[in-house]
Amino acid sequence: MDSGFSVASYFVLVLILLFILNVIKSWNKNDVKNFPPGPRCLPLIGNLHLIDLKKPHLSYLEFSKKYGPVFSVQMGMKKIVVLTGYETVKDALVNKAEDFGERGMLKIFKKMDNGMGLTLSQGENWKTMRRFTITTLRDFGMGKSSLEEKVAEECTTVTKYFATFKGKPFENIMILNAAVANIIVSILLGYRMDYDDPQFKRLLSLTNENVRLLGTPMVSLFNIFPFITLLPGSHKKIQQNVAEVCDFIEKTFVEHLKNLDENDQRSFIDAFLVRQKEDAGNPHSYFHNKNLTQVVRSLFAAGMETTSTTLRWGILLMMKYPKIQEKVQEEISRVLGSAQPMYSHRGQMPFTNAVIHEIQRFSDILPTGVIRETSKDVTFRGYFVPKGTYIIPLLTSVLKDSTQFEKPYEFYPEHFLDSKGNFVKKDAFMPFSAGRRACAGETLARMELFMFFASLLQKFTFCFPPGVNNVDLSSVGGITNAPQPHMIRAVSR
């Protein structure tokens, strides 16, 4: 029998079986009394026909206009509750942090981490790994001057690299990825990697590819209909990429184990291996090699992708708004002169600080957040949400909440300035999410963004290549909002 026909026939049979099961179980929202409202579902596919799988947050924003700040969608056979607007999201993630604090274990997450590590784990494993990770990151300088100096050194390296183009157009994805990644790499491994190191380039490429693939429609369908695992597609490629990254990490910590000195821990991996030795003999210890591999992998990805993408948006927006760029540069020159920008300078540079915050707000890097799950039955805003329900805290609806930001869909640094030009914090500024599942590396990311951005604007004026007079500010589809491919010119000041 033709193999193509066999796969297609199997696919159709499974769909028919699911349809029959759906009818038998009377699958609809009325199964749960007082569940949040949402669009009418079709058998088997739920609301898939109504959702843009490349940019689902745009569909959710439209649904919220009709169904309110708490509504539901049905993806295949799975009910999901979507939370929109600052007040609603804050109420769930901060005021009811425990109730909405579990990670939603999508099928692709299980294939990637198998419940291990930090970002995509649950329960005691997550609590233990998060405690250890935050403590260890602090031990290795997060929030301290020692790490600030390390970031400053990387800022010097990347500005020198930009200068080699001598004002000619170039593409900045990989170089910014490498510069930002080196900060977390130096903590994880105990040393930085050269921008031209083939292994480093490969790790960056694999991570970038996975970020893009995680946002593809095929992965969304795999999460809904796991039998798709039999077919080729993005879900398969993600697993292959993860396996390759994990292989590198495993080889690396084996080398660390050979030279481990418990009295001279030089990296995150060293600290984990020491803790592993201390827990030897404990069958319930979470400090095993699988957790180490996945924690290091997730920290590498999280510590590189979102920050470097935000910096790319920052440079693009400075090209788009040259008067704002000039004002940032004027403040840098007035406050610092030629001195290296440090994180401690941000208090003296309110406009630069406001511009960076507005870059994060406007670029909206992670519009849907990372999916959550209720840890128990919850009554929320008058609705009943059962334990184990997937929750999407729609961060884009917070960062662009018109009740919190005067011009939510415009790039407007004055969102973070008062009438006297002083920097103003906004509670609705949630690019790192909020509550118990907020980004563990938020302090490091804030430091990197300020120092890299200020260092680049101190040394260069960014402008369009010849013949380009404007820029497309729409984003590329993926799990994060990345800018469209573009070239930049970095003209020395």
Q: Can you give the pTM of this predicted structure?
A: 0.91
Burial class (CB in 10 A: 0-12, 13-18, 19+), 209: middle
Closest CA to 364 of 409, 321, 324, 414: 409
Residue 467 vs residues 375, 394, 464, 487: alpha-carbon distances, Å? 55, 38, 8, 12
In eight-state DSSP terms, residue 295 is H
Structure tokens at 325: 């760029």
Closest Cα partner for 314 from 442, 184, 449, 408? 449
**Are the C-beta atoms of residues 85 and 408 closer than 8 Å to each other?**
no
Query: What pLDDT tens digit does each residue of the chain (493 aa) get?
Result: 444 445 556 666 666 666 566 554 544 444 678 999 999 999 888 999 999 988 999 999 999 999 999 999 999 889 999 999 999 999 999 999 999 989 988 888 888 988 898 888 888 999 999 999 999 988 888 777 888 999 999 999 999 999 999 999 999 999 999 999 999 999 998 889 999 999 999 999 999 999 999 988 899 888 888 878 778 889 999 999 999 999 998 888 778 888 888 888 889 999 999 999 999 888 889 999 999 999 999 998 888 889 999 999 999 999 999 999 999 999 999 999 999 999 999 999 999 999 999 999 999 999 999 899 999 999 999 999 999 999 999 999 999 999 999 999 999 999 999 999 999 999 999 999 998 888 888 999 999 999 999 999 999 999 999 988 888 899 987 789 999 999 999 999 9
Assigned token pair, 45: 């596919």
CA dist 217 to 45, 46, 51, 221, Å?
14, 15, 10, 6
